[in-house]
Amino acid sequence: MQCLNCGKDYPDGASFCPDCGAANPGNVNQTNPNGGFQNQGFQNQGFQNQGFQNQGFQNQAYQSQGNPNGGFKAPIKNRSIALCIILTIVTCGIYGIVWFINVADDLNMASGYDGDRSGGMVFLLTLITCSIYGYYWYYKCGEKVSVIRQRQGLPESGSNGILYLVLALFGLSIVSLCLIQSELNNVASI
């Protein structure tokens, strides 16, 4: 797909251009005059203006919003990595599952891959395939982190996916989650 703002190509299904941050008008939810979301799948099912009015996640949330470094901010939550690790240990890994799902969802949102598998589906596929899909997901995270870094105006690191994969293969997937969460915290606006 080609960006209408800068003219560069980007993946189909992306909500915004990874180069300039411009919204893809064909994929981003359009706002209605009353300020609520008009998601095409829910227009006639009673979800138009019930609970989703003006929460700040309209089209501008997907666009590049300037910060002092010239990067962008995404509508995702900033999570304390130390607290996530402590909660994972205290709950014997249960919070780690919740954290994993949230990281997968936030990574999709921040990188513009909104149509990609949700965090719950990633976890389920990882569970069903005895972690094989999880290894693949960690490798693909490198691509999404590169998109996020590019949107911030930072140099891309092409080996992130390999690093995440190797750490996961050696049983250090929590370290991979920490590294990914660190990248997400750099662009979190909530």
Is the residue at 125 inside a domain? yes
Residue 110 lies in a domain: yes
Percentage with pLDDT > 70 across the chain: 68
Quick: pLDDT tens for 51-110: 433 333 333 334 444 444 445 788 889 999 999 999 999 999 999 999 999 999 999 998
Query: What single letter denotes the amino acid at residue 45?
Result: Q
Report the pLDDT averaged over residues 106-135.
Answer: 92
Q: Is residue 86 part of a domain?
A: yes
Asked if residues 181 and 83 have their Cβ atoms less than 8 Å apart, the reply is no
Question: At residue 46, does pLDDT exceed 70?
Answer: no
Is residue 91 situated within a structural domain? yes
Residue-wise burial string across 18-54, b where 16 or more C-beta atoms lie within 10 A, e elsewhere: bbbbbbbeebbbebeeeebbbeeeeeeeeebeeebee
The answer to the question of residue 97 being in a domain is yes
Q: List Cα–Cα distances, 70 to 3, 61, 186, in angstroms.
A: 20, 16, 12
Structural domain including 137 reads 81-187
Average pLDDT, the chain: 76
Residue 162 lies in a domain: yes
Who wins on pLDDT, 158 or 110? 110
CB 150 within 8 A of CB 10: no
At residue 24 the predicted structure's pLDDT band, cuts being 50, 70 and 90, is low
In a domain, residue 18? The reply is no
Number of domains in the chain: 1
37: in domain = no
